[in-house]
Amino acid sequence: MLKFSSLALAIAGSLVMASTETVYAFNIQNSSFETGNFTNWETRGQATVEGSDFGVSPTNGNYQAVLETLQDTTGVNGADLETFLGLSAGNLSSFGAIEGSAIKQSITVNAGDSLSFDWNFLSDDFQSEDYNDFAFLSIINVEKLANTFSPTLFSFSRLSNETGYQSYTYNFQVAGTYTLGLGVVDVGDGTVNSGFLIDNFKLHTATQGVPEPASALGMSIALGFSFLIRKKIDKSQR
């Protein structure tokens, strides 16, 4: 009888274990580029970490990431960027992306977590339909954040115009490990520089401790088993 009890307990235990699949969010590494370099990030193309001597101040600390498409070539075409960021073929090239630069980092999140960061799009291409360079966030798909029609401000940097720093928040619906990617591309041809400044990533973790329906079910099965065991033990002790 004891053998049955311990077996039941083990089964009940494993049911609880299997159903409480909470993936704890890891912080984004080097989230504000305060190492002064791209430690913990991978880069392609023209990517630098710069301070306020760039002509635009970081929004957090002393450093920010600077991605550029360059007047000449970055050496990384649209298809290369899609592969680097784990995107399906055509995700960038279908928007006319010729070449560009990007950074990425792998992040693990819970459902309901959100990610915020600050960005600023700069361009020497101004309001250009045919050469409409753009900056993007890629997590599952590409989300365009700005194009050559977005900048409205004169820039004191080495580029002509900028949007100024903006904030963006992305919400995760499903727990898992994702490739967080950010990039800027030349569209139409590979010339006339556009830039993308990025700073101050923050991962906002969803409230922990509320049992999900699946784990609640696991718990009630476990309680049911332990009730059965207790009944059987009571009988055997009588």
Chain residues binding Ca ion by CB under 5 A are 32-33, 58, 60-61, 63, 69-70, 125, 133, 186, 190, 192, 199
Integer Cα distance of 105 and 57 in angstroms: 23
Supply the minimum distance, in Å, between the C-beta of residue 204 and Ca ion. Answer: 18
Supply the minimum distance, in Å, between the C-beta of residue 200 and Ca ion. Answer: 6
Integer Cα distance of 100 and 206 in angstroms: 34
Q: Could you tell me whether strands 64-68 and 46-50 are parallel, antiparallel, or unpaired per DSSP bridges?
A: antiparallel
Give 192 or 229: the residue with its C-beta nearer to Ca ion.
192
Supply the minimum distance, in Å, between the C-beta of residue 87 and Ca ion. Answer: 20
Supply the minimum distance, in Å, between the C-beta of residue 96 and Ca ion. Answer: 11
The residue nearest Ca ion at its CB is 32
Give 43 or 69: the residue with its C-beta nearer to Ca ion.
69
Which tokens is 197 given? 């400044």
Are 166 and 46 in contact by the 8 Å Cβ rule? The answer is no
Residue 150 CB: number of other CB atoms within 10 A? 18
Give 115 or 192: the residue with its C-beta nearer to Ca ion.
192
Give 5 or 160: the residue with its C-beta nearer to Ca ion.
160
Alpha carbon distance, N-terminus to C-terminus of the chain:
13
